[in-house]
Amino acid sequence: MTKKKLLMGNEAIARGAVEAGVKVAAAYPGTPSSEVFSTLARFAKEYGYYAEWSVNEKVALEVAAGAAYAGARAIVSMKQVGLNVAADPLMTLAYIGIKGGLVIVVADDPGPHSSQNEQDTRKFAQFAKLPVFDPSTPQEAKDMTIAAFELSEQTKLPVILRPTTRVCHVCQDVVMEEVPKKDQAFVFEKDPSWVIFPSLAYQKHIWLNEMQEEIAAAFNYSPFNKLVLKNRTGVVTSGVSYNYVREALAQLGQEVSLLKVGTPYPLPEKPVLELLRNVDRLIVIEEQEPVVEDQIIKIAWKNKLNHSISGKNDKLVPREGELNVDKVRAILAGFLGVEDKTTAEQSPPPPLPARNPVLCAGCPHRASFFAAKEAVKGKPAVFAGDIGCYTLGVAPPLNAMDTCLCMGASVTIASGLSKVESGVKHLAFLGDSTFFHTGLAGLVNAVYNNADITLVVLDNSTTAMTGHQPHPGLPCTATGVNDKVISIAEVCRALGISLVKEVDPYNLAEAVDAVREAVDFTGPAVVIMKRECVSLVKPAKICWVTDKCVGCKVCMNKLGCPALVPAGEKVIIGATCTGCGVCRQVCPADAIEEVAK
Amino acid sequence: MSQDIVIAGVGGQGTVLASRIIAEAAILANQPVFTSETIGMAQREGCVTSNVRIGEPLYGAVIPDGKADVLIGFELAETVRLLPKLKPGGTVIANATKIVPVSVATGKSVYNEAQLSEYLNEWPGSCYIFDASRLAEEAGSFKAVNIVMLGALSTLPDLLFTSEQLLEAILAMVPPKTTEINKKAFLAGRQALGGS
DSSP secondary structure string, A474-503?
Answer: SSB-SSSB-S-PPPHHHHHHHTT-SEEEEE
Q: What is the pLDDT of residue B59?
A: 94
C-alpha span between A20 and A74 (Å, rounded): 10
Q: Are A288 and A110 in contact (CB under 8 A)?
A: yes
- Given B27, B65, B104, which is nearest A353 (Cβ)? B104
Closest CA–CA distance from residue B183 to any residue of chain A (Å)? 22
- Mark whether A528 and A577 lie in a shared domain: no
- Residue A112 CA, chain-centre distance (Å), reads 10
Q: To the nearest whole angstrom, how far is the Cα of B137 from the nearest Cα of chain A?
A: 10
User: pLDDT at position B106, please?
Assistant: 85
- Residue A407, domain member (yes or no): yes
Q: Quick check: helix, strand or coil at residue A138?
A: helix
pLDDT tens per residue, range B109-149: 999 999 999 999 999 999 999 999 999 999 999 899 999 99
Residues in chain B with CB shorter than 8 Å from the CB of A326 are 64-65
For A392, which DSSP code? G
Q: What gap in Å lies between CA A178 and CA A169, rounded to an integer?
A: 24
CA B191 from chain centre, in angstroms, equals 16
- Nearest CB among B24, B36, B109 relative to A169 is that of B36
Tens of pLDDT, residues A517-543? 999 999 999 999 999 999 999 999 999
Which pLDDT belongs to residue A210? 98
- The conformation of residue A265, written as its DSSP 8-state character, comes to B
Please check whether residues A428 and A497 belong to one and the same domain: yes
* Integer CA distances (angstroms), A544 to A22, A318, A350, B107, in order: 53, 50, 33, 22
Is residue A545 located within the same domain as residue A532?
no
Q: Is residue A263 part of a domain?
A: yes
What's residue A345's pLDDT? 67
The Cα A39–Cα A15 span in angstroms is 8
**In B35-69, which positions are buried (b, 16+ CB within 10 angstroms) versus exposed (e)?**
bbbbbbbbbbbbbbbbbbbbeeebbbbbbbbbbbb
Residue A110's beta-bridge partner residues?
Answer: none
Asked whether residue A344 is assigned to any structural domain, the reply reads no
- The CATH number assigned to the domain holding A528 equals 3.40.50.970
Residue A401 near residue A446 (C-beta atoms within 8 A) = no
- By C-alpha distance, which of A433, A440, A482 is closest to A461? A433
**What pLDDT sits at residue A502?**
98
- Express each pLDDT in A561-579 by its tens digit: 999 999 889 999 998 899 9
Which H or E run contains A5?
strand A3-8
Give CA angle at A320 (A317, A323), nearest 5°: 60
User: Which of A309-323, A334-348, B115-129 is least confident?
Assistant: A334-348
Distance, in angstroms, between B155 CA and closest chain A CA? 24
> By three-state DSSP, how is residue A517 classified?
helix
Q: How far is CA A178 from the centre of its chain?
A: 30
For A327, the closest chain B residue by CA position comes to: B64
- Contact call for B41 and A465, based on CB within 8 A: yes
End-of-domain residue from the set A218, A251, A275:
A218
Rounded distance between C-alpha atoms, residue B189 and residue B147, angstroms: 8
Among candidate residues A11, A33, A26, the one with its CA nearest the CA of residue A89: A26
Summarised one tens digit per residue, pLDDT across range A439-454 is 999 999 999 999 999 9
**Dist CA A36 CA A163 (whole Å):** 11
pLDDT digit string (tens) for A25-49?
Answer: 999 999 999 999 999 999 999 999 9
Helices of type H across A156-304: 165-168, 198-219, 241-252, 269-278, 291-302
Is residue A396 less than 8 Å (CB to CB) from chain B? yes
Tell me the CATH number at A583: 3.30.70.20
How many CB pairs below 8 A link A and B?
178
Q: Is residue A350 part of a domain?
A: no
Question: Which residue from B57, B87, B110 is facing A353, i.e. has the nearest CB?
Answer: B110
CA dist A295 and A293 (Å) reads 5
Residue A203 lies in a domain: yes
Work out the minimum CA distance from A141 to partner chain B, whole angstroms.
14
**Options 1.20.1090.10, 3.40.920.10, 1.10.530.10, 3.30.413.10; CATH of B2-192:** 3.40.920.10
Structural domain ending residue among the three candidates A218, A253, A282: A218
Of B172, B180, B98, B187, which is closest to residue B141 (Cα–Cα)? B180
Beta carbons of A325 and B64 less than 8 Å apart: yes
One domain for residues A328 and A279:
yes
Tell if the CB–CB gap between B27 and A562 is shorter than 8 Å.
Answer: no
Q: Is A561 annotated as a binding residue?
A: yes
Cα–Cα distance, B18 to B112 (Å, whole number): 27
Answer yes or no: is A555 a known binding residue.
Answer: yes
* A342 found inside a domain: no
- Closest Cβ opposite residue A169 in set B26, B37, B108: B37
Pick A149 or A183 by higher pLDDT.
A149
Establish whether A587 is an annotated binding residue: yes
Chain B partners within 8 Å of A356 (Cβ): 46, 101, 103
Q: Domain check: are A212 and A251 in the same one?
A: no
Q: Quote ipTM for the complex.
A: 0.94
**Same domain flag for A208 and A330:** no
Who's near A348: CB < 8 A, 6+ residues apart?
none
Q: pLDDT above 90 covers what percent of chain A?
A: 95
Least CA distance to A566: which residue of chain B? Answer: B105
Domain boundary among A504, A536, A568: A536
Q: How many domains does chain A have?
A: 4
Q: Is the pLDDT of residue A2 over 80?
A: no
Mutate to test the interface with A, among B21, B102, B119 (most CBs of A within 10 A): B102
Pairing of strands B127-130, B86-95: parallel
Residues of A in Cβ contact (< 8 Å) with B104 = 353, 566
Nearest CA in chain B to A387: B41
**Residue A311 within any structural domain of the chain:** yes
**Cα–Cα distance for residue pair A473/A468, rounded to 1 Å:** 13
Q: What SS3 state is found at A207?
A: helix
Which stretch of A34-43, A165-174, A238-247, A350-359 has the lowest confidence by average pLDDT?
A350-359
Pair A179, A270 in one domain: no
Are residue A30 and residue A129 in the same domain, yes or no? yes
Taking 90 as the threshold, does the pLDDT of residue B12 lie above it? no
Q: Where are the domains of chain B?
A: 2-192
Backbone dihedral angles phi then psi of residue A133, each to the nearest 5 degrees: -105, 145
Question: Is A566 among the domain residues?
Answer: yes
Distance of CA A56 to the CA centre of its chain: 12
Query: Cβ–Cβ of B60/A325 closer than 8 Å?
Result: yes
What is the pLDDT, as a whole number, of residue A221?
Answer: 96
Range of the domain at A584: 541-596
Which residues in B lie closer than 8 A to residue A325 (C-beta atoms)?
59-60, 62, 64
> Is the same domain home to A592 and A493?
no
pLDDT reported for residue A344? 59
Residue A585, classified by CB atoms within 10 Å of its CB into exposed (0-12), middle (13-18) or buried (19+), is middle
B45 vs B41, which has greater pLDDT? B45
Residue A102 sits in the same domain as residue A22: yes
Q: Alpha-carbon distance A524 to A451, whole Å?
A: 6
Does the annotation flag A580 for ligand binding?
yes
Q: Let me know if B148 is exposed, middle or buried by CB neighbors in 10 A (0-12, 13-18, 19+).
A: buried
Same-domain pairing of A306 and A431: no
Residues of B in contact with A114 (CB under 8 A): 39-42
Same domain, A242 and A304: yes
Encode pLDDT of B85-115 as tens digits.
Answer: 999 999 999 999 999 998 998 888 999 999 9
Task: Show which of residues 327-346 on chain A sit within 8 Å of chain B, judged by CB atoms.
Answer: 329, 342-344, 346
Q: Do B103 and A355 touch (CB under 8 A)?
A: yes
Average pLDDT over residues A230-239: 98
Q: B109 vs A346: CB contact, 8 Å cut-off?
A: no
B39 contacts in chain A (CB < 8 Å)? 31-32, 114, 169
Please give the model's pTM, rounded to 2 decimal places.
0.96
